[in-house]
Amino acid sequence: MNHDLKERLFFLLLRLVTYSMVLVIGFILFDIVRKGLPVISLGFLLDAPRQSGAEGGIFPAIVGTFYLVIGTLIIALPLGIASAVYLTEYAEQGRFTQIVRMAILTLAGVPSIVFGLFGLGLFVIFCQFGASILSGSLTLACMVLPTIIVASEEALRAVPQSLREGSLALGATKWQTIRKNVLPYAVSGMLTGSILGIGRAAGETAPILLTAAAFYLPKLPTSIFDQVMALPYHLYILATQHPAAHKVIPMQYGTSLVLLTLVLGFSMSAILLRAYFRKKYRW
């Protein structure tokens, strides 16, 4: 039948489009793995760059990214989780809650380079932290805060109401209830959701461009007021600003692969953890 044929053709088109996107993603990953893998060696991972990145490794950049991620985590995680607890457990529907929600949505939409400008104006210049791990982490923390809040809220809402009611009925205060009967069951969900946000922080370039990153530092940072090297920034400079950019292409692929592995590793582990915890807690 003619109509039937049209339908099947259309469905085939949808399937083709969807799978071609999958193919493109596959190709990007494949290309970076294929050309990056030969570069990866212990020396590449554990040496400092030599000859402005043309030789040696990327160890300081890995360490720098690690410091920035830890810094971001320390600032954003408690703040995000506390906000989520307030919003799900305490907040009444009203003006204030509405404004908080509006603010979170606004933050989620602010372009990363604007976070960079903001970090430059507030942390680097006004607070006089200079371009440093502290400024970079604070800037990244502001950026990932909405992700962490939304993920934590979801985890808190998944805890059945009856657990709260049981505790309150036994005479526990609100905070006791939250601490003993809600948070322990939500913590896994909050962490996995937050890992996704943290992965994003590890891969961002624009916010640290103006607040933390340096292309080459002779030694590893020793305090939170030091500048750092970071993987995304290292890759950006190697690919666009390096005087012999096409000669260091293997180094670029190697750096890409390490960064990609790190970021996707975060996401994958979050997805796997989520699946594991979903099986563990079933209400």
Partner 1 sequence: MNELGFSDKAMRLLLLGAASMSILIVLLIFLFLGKEAIPFAEKPGLLALLDSRWIPVSFQQPRFGLLPLLAGSTLITVLATIFTVPLSICGAMYIADLASPLEREILKPFIEILAAIPSVVLGFFGLLVVAPFIKELFHLPSGLSALTGAVLLALMAVPTVISISEDAIRSVPLAYKKASLALGASQLQTMLRVTVPAALPGIVAAVMLGMGRIIGETMVVLMVTGNAGIITWQPAESVRTMTATIAAEMGEVPFGSVHYSALFWVGLVLLLITFGLNVIAQRVLKKYGMMQ
Residue list 137-176, contact with partner 1 (CB under 8 A) = 142, 145-146, 149, 173-176
In whole angstroms, how close is the CB of 207 to partner 1 at the nearest point? 9
Handedness of CA 154, 155, 156, 162 (dihedral sign): positive
Pick the closer one to partner 1 by CB: 87 or 155: 87
Binding status of residue 82 toward partner 1 by CB under 8 A: yes
| 44 in Cβ contact with 62 (< 8 Å) | no
Pick the closer one to partner 1 by CB: 180 or 222: 180
Handedness of CA 182, 187, 188, 190 (dihedral sign): positive
| 248 in Cβ contact with 238 (< 8 Å) | yes
Instruction: Rule CB under 8 A: choose which of 77, 87, 191, 198 binds partner 1.
Output: 87
Instruction: Rule CB under 8 A: choose which of 39, 62, 120, 212 binds partner 1.
Output: 120
The binding track of 213-252 with respect to partner 1, each residue x by CB under 8 A or -, is: -------------------xx-xx--xx--------x--x
In whole angstroms, how close is the CB of 218 to partner 1 at the nearest point? 20
Instruction: Rule CB under 8 A: choose which of 62, 198, 212, 263 binds partner 1.
Output: 263
**Number of C-alpha atoms within 13 angstroms, CB side, residue 218?**
0
Q: Say if strands 49-50 and 55-56 run parallel, antiparallel, or are unpaired.
A: antiparallel
| 250 in Cβ contact with 32 (< 8 Å) | no
Instruction: Rule CB under 8 A: choose which of 40, 113, 168, 220 binds partner 1.
Output: 113
- 255's tokens: 């750096």
Binding status of residue 54 toward partner 1 by CB under 8 A: no
Q: Residue 102 belongs to what H/E stretch?
A: helix 95-109
